[in-house]
A and B are shown apart, each in its own frame.
Chain A
Amino acid sequence: MEQRHHLQPHISSAGPTTPFGSTATYPHAPTASSGHKRPRTRGSYTCGRCGQPKKGHSCHVRPADSAAESHPDTPLSVTRTPALPPPPPPRQPYSNLRRALSFDDVESSGYGDSDAQDPDPDPDLDEVEDTEVDWDRGWGGLPASCLWEILRRLPPPGLLSAAMVCRGWRETTRRLWKAAEALRLRVPARAQVRFVRLVLHKCPNLVSLSLTIESDVDATMLECIAFSCPNLESMEIYISEKATNRITGDELSRFVADRRLLKSLKMEGCSNIGGFALCSSSLLTLWLSGLHSLSKMVFNCPNLKEISIDFSRQGNDNTDLTTMVDGLGRNCPRLQNIHIASVRLSHAVVLALTAAQLRDLQMLSLVLGSQITDASVAAIASTYPYLELLDLSGSSISDSGIQIICNVFPETLSRLLVALCPNITTMGIVFATTQLPLLELMDCGMTICDRNSSDPTYEESSDFQLSMPSKAKAHLICQNLIIKHGRLKKLSLWGCSGLDALSLSCPELNDLNLNSCNNLHPERLSLQCPNLEKVHASGCQRMLIGAIHSQLNNNLATMDSLLPCKRLASGSKRIRVPHYMMEQSLQSYEDDKKRRRVEKRRCNVLVY
């Protein structure tokens, strides 16, 4: 699951979306007649089958619909983000109900879409709800806004069940669907475009859509989305490994050009996109991954801020990256975040990038380019001295390149990623940590590798899945890494099989990745990081994992000694109890300690 986001997290603030796992069976929901208990304030002729008022309705209740294959597993996740809950139910009937699009061939139409059945709604509805108010009883007294609050916390399968409980609930769920602005949907293999269409029909005000598709997808999906979601601003299409994304560049270009409001587009598995001409003045974010060879690339998106172009690592890639970067530079002057992953990255491409003079550039990530050298670093540093993130994983830069980085970027750089750079040594890493005070994230995966291991097995770090095998390198075995940094939050040393000893003193460190550090000696490990929340130790030896645990426990213990102490000349420690420490502050100290213990007891050591 992580691979599709392997290069994204450090660019975008949005976390990876995960498909929703639960299944739902769509209930047939014959609409109930209003209860015989409730007083009817006017007479109405009701349909014998479904109990709805006869006026203007078409009965959708079919006698024994088979519940067999027509119920796809439909895990949905709907997040409703309306700014406010709706006002109390209006007295007048709903005036803007649309007729449903009819799908005669849909055998599973028993979704019970009450929209389709109620073109002329029962005006009794709201009055009945209000007359039911009886504050001393149970359900009847719940105000509609509270019911909204309750139901909006249900996941979509729960919503669909809730819609069947009673009329009031059905109405509320219907309004919830209508108010839905964001939808995350997993489309299983059996479901087809029309299923997506049916769901999208429930929420016409959708602003953000995220689809995880498990079957092949083509332009009909785009058409469906285009038709159903006129207000769409953000679209993401994730595709499972076994499926193929057949959308072509032309189809995508047409889609983008027609969407006046589209701000963000993310798509995976773009194997059939051979070229495109994207013209959009609204587009701000563009992520395309799984690309094969691109011929024509036109980026006519003057407001584009973030771009991520990820080429899949397979043979015949003839993309002219230099021209592409050139085009980007000319047409998208507002770019802030650039991410390009391709083995064809080279110094020429970097030069094209620096020639572009992108004034707002903050995050630059050029990965997998083994032809990127220290000279490229120099070029980048001279043109863009204010970068916040620099990712040159998989390149050939060396410690000199790190030196250049440390000379130019100390005031802005907070994230440095140099995984899979075989020419970097512990000296470079330590230098970076001492010279970059704002550093919060550092990834040095697979840099310090044991010369004895010919094909080191590497584990995927939580962030990256770069499948380049590391070259066996002639390197000293005893590699000692000492890092002291006041701000470092995340450090990754995955696959550093040449690492022998590690000493970390980072008070803010939350996440440490030591996957596959096979040669790290347990007794030469020192972790002075009280805020550590996660340690990844997959592929490590047992004793090392034990050592990690004991280091973490020591950290908890040392927190107790918060009293100031002074080391005297004789070497003994005298603890000086400040005279202000009265009864109550001792008490609050005790409470504080208890509280902190409750909060901080969990640091997870993850061994997958």
Chain B
Amino acid sequence: MSRVFKLKSSDNETFEVEEAAALLSETIKSSSSTEITVPNVKAEILGKVVEWCNKHAESEDTKDQLIKEWDAEFVSVDQHVLFKLITAADYLQIKELVDQLTQRVGDMIKAKTLKTVEMTYPTFNVEREVQEELKSLGF
């Protein structure tokens, strides 16, 4: 008889998760209650995390090609969403999800030169002075 965990997002939406999926999260594993509130994570993001957990709970073999393809699609999201997912996965301590997401960001960065990093990731707090200095050096 598997337990059902309830995850509550910051905007008060509740997700029900089966035990197998929920236990992928270290935070949930070490929590004493079955109702966990995840602060600062909105429902949309929490829903995606739950979806990932469900998918990974049902198939044991993570080396499976189909799972890999699914994972690859899962992480090809907008950068904003990606960062929020990382934060959520980090809070819930789901190591594999964090690995996949950070790998994705790393790949995205790797693929760009510094210049384009500045352009396409305006959320990175690049200082104006630094930008100008770089321009003067020819970057």
Contact = CB atoms under 8 A, between A and B. Distances in A.
B65 A146 contact: no
A166 B139 contact: no
Contacts of B65: 595, 598-599
Interface string B45-86: 000000000000000000011100000000000011001101
Contacts of B41: 135
A51 interface: yes
A28 B136 CA distance: 11
A328 B118 CA distance: 59
Given A146-B102, A164-B114, 9 more contacts: A35-B125, A140-B123, A142-B83, A149-B98, A153-B110, A154-B109, A161-B114, A162-B109, A165-B125
A164 B134 contact: yes
B88 to A, nearest CB: 10
Contacts of B109: 150, 154, 158, 162
A353 B100 CA distance: 51
B127 A143 contact: no
A138 interface: yes
B1 interface: no
Contacts of A146: 86-87, 90, 98, 102
Nearest to B89: A146
A166 B102 contact: no
Contacts of A137: 123
Contact of B138 (A67, A142, A153): A67
B127 A153 contact: no
Interface string B5-19: 000000000000000
Contacts of B30: none
Contacts of B26: none
A169 B126 CA distance: 10
Interface of A: 27-28, 30, 32-33, 35, 51, 67, 135-143, 145-146, 149-155, 158, 161-162, 164-166, 168-169, 595, 598-599
Given A142-B86, A146-B98, A166 B127 contact: yes
13 contacts: A27-B139, A30-B133, A136-B40, A136-B42, A142-B87, A146-B86, A146-B102, A151-B106, A154-B106, A164-B130, A164-B134, A165-B125, A166-B124
- B80, B87, B133, B139 interface centre (most CB from chain A within 10 Å): B133
Nearest to A153: B106
B119 interface: no
- A138, A166, A595 interface centre (most CB from chain B within 10 Å): A138
Given A138-B79, A142-B83, A595-B66, A153 B125 contact: no
A73 B107 CA distance: 22
Contacts of A152: 106
A149 B102 contact: yes
B37 interface: no
Contacts of B113: 161
B103 A139 contact: no
